[in-house]
Each structure stands twice: as C-alpha cells, then as structure tokens.
Chains A and B, each alone.
Chain A
Amino acid sequence: GENVEQHPSTLSVQEGDSAVIKCTYSDSASNYFPWYKQELGKGPQLIIDIRSNVGEKKDQRIAVTLNKTAKHFSLHITETQPEDSAVYFCAASKSGTYKYIFGTGTRLKVLA
C-alpha cells in the first residue's frame, strides 16, 4: 500500500547548524510533496512543497530536494534558529486522489 517513511524521528542541532530530514515514498505515481511544520497546540503549516517535475526548490533558509528514481525527498534547513524547533511532517500525494500520505514526523530541537 501507499507509505511514506520519515527519518529521523528526533533531531537536535545547535543554533546556526543545518538540519536535514529525509523521506521515502512507495507510490511511484506520487507527484506532489509538501512539508509541514507543526508547533505545539497548532495545526500543521505548509512551509515548502515540490512537484515531481522539479528536482530542487529553495525558499530562503529552507530547501527541498527530490530524487524520483530513488523515491526520496529531503528537507534542508540552514542556519537554524530556536524558532525552527517544531515537528516537521513530509507527505506525498498524486493527482486524482487529493489525499496526502504523511510521514510519522520529525521532532526538531534547535539548541541555543
């Protein structure tokens, strides 16, 4: 069945360092890959997304890379700040279904 694996489950980095979160999807028909940030007591917030016709996308300190052949995609956060501390979820979706298959989340802690 459809599945998205996400690693690591927890990640601690020093302020200013980079953080990388990796996801692997099973359905080769997936063509849309969003990343969400969830802070305590709040709903997930879309922070960046990528479609299958693009290999990389960047928005300031955040970037996402996609390897369709390996069915891997990754979130890269550079120059991390304490406010980046949250739970991050990756997801995969394909046209026509409109549902997202989410990974199990990564708890990122940025240590000041």
Chain B
Amino acid sequence: EAGVTQSPTHLIKTRGQQATLRCSPISGHTSVYWYQQALGLGLQFLLWYDEGEERNRGNFPPRFSGRQFPNYSSELNVNALELEDSALYLCASSHSGKNYGYTFGSGTRLTVV
C-alpha cells in the first residue's frame, strides 16, 4: 500500500511569490491534514479537509489556503510568501471521522529567499 505522497520534495521561492504544494492521501483515506513544521518548533496545525470541504483551520493568515479534489488529493497554496514561511510542510491522511492514526508524508521543504 502506497503511503502519503507529497510533491515537490523541495521548493525554493522568492519573497512575495506564491507556492503550491501537493498531497496524495493513502488509498481509502478521505481526510487530509496540513501542518507546518518550522525549524526547531513542533508541528502547527494548518488545515483539515474532508470529503472535499474545509473542516477546520489553524491560526494562520488567509494567504494560507488550499483545496481538496474529488480524488481526495489536496493542494496547499501560500500567497505573498514571507521569509518566515520557510518550513517543512507536512501532509497527513486518515479515514473520515477518525481522529486517530494519522499517517504523515515526508513533507515539502519550502525555502523563501
């Protein structure tokens, strides 16, 4: 069984640009979660999608947004990039309605210069 896959592995952007990160959940999982892991910090909850809808949002500005597609894959968009957006962005998936047993992908390392 394939795990959670994220692309790209690394992304370098200039301040003010937009970044798009992608995530494919484990087959059968309909919930997708996005977390930000800044250097030296724990994981901070960004967004939760389930069945194509945004269900919950963390304490991040509106320039962090995303969507979930009919095949349950997801995209995270970060607009007007700032230097402090540099971090590892992790995607996780789970069965709908289950708050246990997230499976994480390996992440996308976003560097803003």
Contacts and interface: CB of A to CB of B under 8 A. Distances in A.
B45 A99 contact: yes
Contact of B90 (A44, A96, A103): A44
Nearest to B45: A99
Contacts, number: 61
Interface in B29-51: 31, 33, 35, 41-45, 48, 50
B4 to A, nearest CB: 8
Contacts of B107: 43
Interface of A: 4, 6, 32, 34, 36, 41-46, 49, 51, 89, 91, 93-105
Chain B contact residues: helix, strand, loop or mixed: strand
B65 to A, nearest CB: 17
25 contacts: A4-B42, A32-B100, A36-B104, A42-B106, A43-B90, A43-B107, A44-B90, A46-B102, A49-B100, A51-B100, A91-B43, A93-B99, A93-B100, A95-B99, A96-B99, A98-B31, A98-B33, A98-B56, A99-B45, A99-B58, A100-B43, A100-B45, A102-B42, A104-B42, A105-B42
The interface size bin for chain B is: 20 to 34
B27 interface: no
A108 B90 CA distance: 21
Interface of B: 4, 31, 33, 35, 41-45, 48, 50, 55-56, 58, 90, 94, 99-107
